[in-house]
Amino acid sequence: MAKQRRPKYKKDARVGLFVSCTTNLFRPSLIKAAVHLLEKAGYEVEAPSIQSCCGLVSLRSNELDDARDLAKEVISQFGHYDFVAVLSPFCAKVFERAYMPLLSEQSEELAKITAKFTRKCFEVSDLLLAAPDFAQNLGGFAGKVAFLDVSDAPNLFGSQVASRALLGQMEQVSVVDLPQICASQVKGAPDGTISPELGQGDLSGLLHAVRSCGAGTLVSTDLALLMELSTHLRKYGSAIELRPVLEVLAGDTQSMPIGISARVMSGQSVL
- All residues at 6 or more sequence positions from 175 whose CB lies less than 8 Å from its CB, including other chains: 144, 145, 146, 147, 164, 167, 168
Q: What is the pTM of this model?
A: 0.90
Type of residue numbered 239: A
pLDDT score recorded for residue 219: 96
pLDDT in tens, 48-72: 988 999 999 999 999 999 999 999 9
pLDDT in tens, 214-255: 999 999 999 988 998 998 898 888 889 999 999 999 999 889
Taken in order 165, 179, 140, 33, the sign of the CA dihedral is positive
- All residues at 6 or more sequence positions from 58 whose CB lies less than 8 Å from its CB, including other chains: 64, 66, 67, 70
Helix (H) or strand (E) holding 137: none
For residue 187, the 8-state DSSP code is T
pLDDT in tens, 106-155: 999 999 999 999 999 999 999 999 999 898 878 889 999 999 998 777 77
Domains in the chain with CATH codes? 14-130 (no CATH), 137-258 (3.40.50)
Alpha-carbon dihedral 113, 60, 30, 207, rounded to 10 degrees: -140
